[in-house]
Structure 1
Amino acid sequence: MDASLTSRLLAELLPPDLAAAVRQHLLHPSSPFQAYKRLAAEQAARLLSALQPLADWALRCVADNQGAAGLLVLLALLAALLVVVSWVHRFVLWWTRLALRVVFWAVVGAVGAWVWNRGVVESARDAVDIVARVVGYLAVLKTVWLAEYDRYEGQQNGGYGDGGRGRGRGR
């Protein structure tokens, strides 16, 4: 970008005092920012001239061994895929852990508010009532499960009712 376009953009986008500060401290040729910018550009040019033969050699090797280059590209893609899958795995674990912590502390807060509103004795009575109902439900569930398990065992051991397995009817 030339200087006039930069000055015009600064004047249009920034307040006048901020535009003057940017011109003085960042865009002035003797500012430290410009000195560091020139130094970085010179070092990048030196680095580019030093790395140019290495890049030419690498490109010649790739051109000479196209089969190996394809295999290397495939391995690089596989490695990148594994890295991304690892990131996604860690991201999902982090969000799951965060969600479970939020739920845990929400339950702790709700129980605390419940005890605060009802009182300790009434809350204890309510908790005993709730636990008794849950235990009763689990006892009924256990009875049903054991009955179904016994019925299944009876079918496996004694056949399906009229003697023996595999007796076909129809078709």
Structure 2
Amino acid sequence: MKKIVTPLLLSSLLVGCGSSADYPDAQQGLIDLVEKYHEQYNDADNAIMRDRAIESRGDALCDYFSEDLDVVGWKGVVSSITTNESGAGLALSIGGDVSVKTASSSGSSRAVNSTLIQEGDAMYEMIASLGRGDQVTFSGTLFRDDHPECLFEWSLTEYGGVSRPEFMIRFSSIEPDQGS
């Protein structure tokens, strides 16, 4: 039987797996930080104020992840799984409008390519059984980026990066949640 996931169903899945009480503290802290600066950005009256909101968020992200970029036992919902000649890409919604994702295509950067999940790897076989909307628990490492963002973020537009950030991650483990 084919699963059909509509935006409404996907958002209810996110609520079901991701009420803030269910998230690890570090994950909830990232979600809260993103939401705070998204609101500050939206409330800005001009481009200078918006730029300052982005810089402030970058500073806050650097402070929040000052010691370690590793995430352990975080919760997510599969948004997409892609493949190319270099491996598989995976994007997870992790709460609010925040996502973590690998590369979806091979690029010129070794760091970007290293995020792809390689065929033959146990994680590749595990994600092969997942579909959009499935709930997972994962661990991995986020990537640092130059200021003002602090964490590497994939969005093509400034507004997308503030309102629906997609942070780059190299997964170290992914497990389906029970009942997913």
TM-score bin (small chain): under 0.3
- Report the TM-score when normalising by structure 2: 0.19
Q: Which has the higher strand share?
A: 2
Report 1 or 2 for greater relative contact order, CA contacts < 8 Å, sequence distance ≥ 6. Answer: 2
- Report the TM-score when normalising by structure 1: 0.20
Bigger Rg over Cα: 1
